[in-house]
Structure 1
C-alpha cells in the first residue's frame, strides 16, 4: 500500500484537523452524558417524591383512621402512578424542546 506523501505543512494541518475533531466529539459526548445523567436524576426524583409522600400520608391515615384496607398501599400505588405520569410529561416536554 502506497501512502500519499504530504508536505510537513499538510501533515501539520491534518493533525490539527484530527485533534479538533476529537475535541469536538469529546465535548458533545460529555454534554450528552451529563444531560443523560441529569434526566435520569430528575426522572428518578419525580417518581420518588410522590411515592414517598403517598407512603407518608398512607402511614398517617392507617395510624389515625384504621380501616379494612391499607391506605399505605393504596397511596403508594397512587404516588407511583402520579410520579410516572409526571416523569413522562417532563421527558415529553424536554424532547419537544429539542
Structure 2
C-alpha cells in the first residue's frame, strides 16, 4: 500500500514537512509495511518556500537583506532541486547595496 501525505504547515507551529513526518509516524503504527510519500504543500503564504524546496529536493539559502526601514533583516531564499526557480521569503527582499526596483 502507498500512502501519500500532503499537509500544509501549522501556522507558527510546524512546517509542512514536520506535519507530514508526524502524520507518517502515527500511520506507521497501524500500517508499518506501507510505502510513504511525504509531499508538503502550501497555499502561497507561510511555508510556501520551504514546501517547494522540500518537494523538489532543493536548498534554502540564508542571507541578510535590508528591511523596509533600512535595518538588516535575516531572510532566506529557496532554490529548486533542478535550479530552475528561486523564491524569496522574509525581509525586504533586497540585498545590501542593491537598489529597489524602479529606483533612479
Same fold (TM over 0.5): no
Higher RCO (CA 8 Å, separation ≥ 6 residues): 1
Normalized against structure 1, the TM-score is what?
0.28
* Structure number with higher strand proportion: 2
* Structure number with higher helix proportion: 1
Larger radius of gyration: 1
Normalized against structure 2, the TM-score is what?
0.27
